Amino acid sequence: MQTLLFTLVLFLILNLGVGMWRVLRGPTTADRMLAAQLLGTTAVAILLLLAEATGSAALRDVALVLALLATVTAVAFVRRTLPYSENANDDE
């Protein structure tokens, strides 16, 4: 079972390489941000697989913190890039 988990971790690390290429070459900031989200999600998956393979509860905690940071990053990106109007909810 551990061999399968470590094989999946290796596959996800290869996906990280592809995602990093997209971060570096992305034509728009949205492409780069989506690739960065892919990196965060993949890192969480890697940590969870390693936690299962090694029986380490600390890796699960690190994965949870990383998932929360990825969420905050996505929200911050959307708030920064989308135009905000104070009168968006007013019906005139």
Of 46, 38, 41, whose CA–CA distance to 21 is shortest? 38
- The pLDDT value given to residue 60: 95
% of the chain surpassing 70 pLDDT: 90
Cβ neighbours, 10 Å, residue 91: 4
More confident of the two residues 36 and 47: 47
The structure's pTM equals: 0.77
pLDDT at 30 over 90: no
Mean pLDDT (whole number) for 9-30: 86
What is the rounded radius of gyration, in angstroms, for the C-alpha atoms of the chain? 17
